[in-house]
Amino acid sequence: MTKPTVASNQASQDSIEREVLLRIAPDPTLLVRLAEVREHLVRRASTESNRRGIPLRRALVAGSAARGTFLHERFDIDLFLLFPPDLPRERLETEGLRLAEAILESPEKHYAEHPYLRGRFEGFTVEAVPGYAIEDPSHPLTAVDRTPFHQEYLAAHLAAEQVDQVRLTKQFLRALGVYGSEARTAGFSGYLVELLIVRFGSFAKVLESAESWRLPVRLATPGSRPAVPDDVAMILDDPVDPHRNVATALSAESLARFILAAREYVRTPSVSAFFPIPGVRISIGEAKARVAARGTHVAIVRLPRPSLVDDILYPQLRKTERSVGGEAARLGFEVLGTSSVAGVADLWVALETSTPVLPRVRVQDGPPPGLAHADAFLAKWTAPDAPVLQGPYLRPDGKLAVDVAREEGQLEALLTLALPTMALGRDLREAAKSGVWARPLDALDASPELSELLDRLLNKRLPGLPQRSAGASR
């Protein structure tokens, strides 16, 4: 069979991307209408601030709606209401919300770093966010203060012919489930995508570069010094603030998923890479059958969901998931996997272990003979009421040890005892003191949250690759 040439592969890729763009690019009439609405919105903000004596310094529309890099019917208009830097933070919030209420129809209050309003304006959804009109983007006072500088940079550096390249990249990432910098997704932000296109030139060139990326990916420009945590997956400095890493929110798992998908697409381009067929979530019955086939045990932890915005909740939920797995391992269980899900009213963590119960016997290590506390160890474990099953005795390394009877060895019981004192997320500690439990999977009935939780634990799969079923033989 003749292998496809580079030229034919490129022609196929170009044809695929044209087809995809026909499906994701906004209609030209929408872009014209959107440009008009942006002007009306900024003018209305200025008019209302003057009318009400609100000290607005500047209003602007930024983000994908301003640059036209959004996907068809997948955008909101981001209106930034910028105030003098010397305005107290409390007044920033009060005056920003008051102005937004005067502009938007049916406004609803939402929360991020500080409150903002979401409503309607001339038929479009608008998020009105207050911030400060700063002079130096390396010294922001709120998380949104760099936005005007980002807008100016991309207006100067993102060429018109690259807008479609941004759209292709966004759709590719969305298909992988790694588009969005919010804590729930831990993926690529829109700004990061646009900077990658500016840097590499096109969607195809981003993917060709990504084929050879190794974590952590370092794309920082010489001389920049972005502050990064130890576990950062990618380093790309913000061109308006070389001390900031644009990719801080991107997780190693999301980036690794993108690298694998980039390799697959460059070698075998297909429309399905942009529009994959959704996988079928396993049922509770299927999950229990898989656990039986694997010869393992699954425990489920549930605790009440506190009232937190997602960007605060999800990092704490992931910390709780790590703590539950870590505690089980510390107790002596072999942990095969964990998962977590945030439901409407509850938080859920699943834990798969090789066994549901620890052995009745537990080895208690002691000091080597000759140390002062060796006598205390021997006295404790030779007492008449000591729960000793064997020993004390010497181990091959010369240290004392004793086999003792374990008081409790069942996984769920041990987790329930440990949860109130476990290192959970800051706001989840109170929730863990009441209304928390750990139960075996077999004791639970079906629910949407439990189905999603088990799907993440027992139905792991890479998109675009064939998967083996639980009962498949080698």
pLDDT of residue 33: 95
Q: For residue 388, give the nearest of 401, 404, 407 by alpha carbon.
A: 404
pLDDT of residue 6: 59
pLDDT in tens, 373-387: 899 999 999 999 998
Question: What tokens appear for 31 in the block?
Answer: 């872009």
Residue 471 above 50 pLDDT?
A: no
Same fold, 158-273 and 284-357+409-458: no
**1.20.58.110, 1.20.120.1730, 3.50.50.60, 1.10.1410.30: CATH of 158-273:** 1.10.1410.30
CB atoms within 10 A of CB 437: 12
pLDDT in tens, 348-403: 999 999 999 999 999 999 999 988 889 999 999 999 999 899 999 999 999 999 99
Residue-averaged pLDDT of the chain = 91
Confidence of residue 3 (pLDDT cuts 50, 70, 90): low
Give how far Cα 415 sits from Cα of 84, 291, 353, 433, Å. Answer: 52, 20, 13, 13
Mean pLDDT along residues 278-301: 92
pLDDT in tens, 95-109: 999 999 999 999 999
pLDDT of residue 465: 57
pLDDT of residue 111: 84
pLDDT of residue 474: 37
Show Cβ contacts of residue 186 under 8 Å, excluding neighbours closer than 6 positions: 178, 249, 250, 251, 253, 254
Maximum Cα–Cα distance across the chain:
88
Give the domain ranges of the chain. 28-143, 158-273, 284-357+409-458, 361-405
- Topology, domain 28-143: Beta Polymerase; domain 2 (3.30.460)
Show Cβ contacts of residue 174 under 8 Å, excluding neighbours closer than 6 positions: 71
For the entire predicted model, the pTM comes to 0.86
- In 373-446, where do the E strands start and end? 388-394, 400-405, 437-440
Mean pLDDT along residues 162-176: 97
CATH of domain 284-357+409-458: 3.30.70.590
- Tell which wins on pLDDT, 281 or 23: 23
pLDDT of residue 433: 73
pLDDT in tens, 414-462: 999 888 888 887 788 877 777 789 999 999 988 999 999 999 999 988 7
pLDDT in tens, 297-348: 999 999 999 888 888 899 999 999 999 999 999 999 999 999 999 999 999 9
Residue 224 above 80 pLDDT?
A: no
Residue 472 above 50 pLDDT?
A: no
Show Cβ contacts of residue 49 under 8 Å, excluding neighbours closer than 6 positions: 55, 56, 59, 99
Q: For residue 34, give the nearest of 66, 78, 1, 80 by alpha carbon.
A: 66
Give how far Cα 306 sits from Cα of 90, 184, 383, 437, Å. Answer: 25, 16, 47, 16
pLDDT of residue 473: 38
Show Cβ contacts of residue 408 under 8 Å, excluding neighbours closer than 6 positions: 414, 417
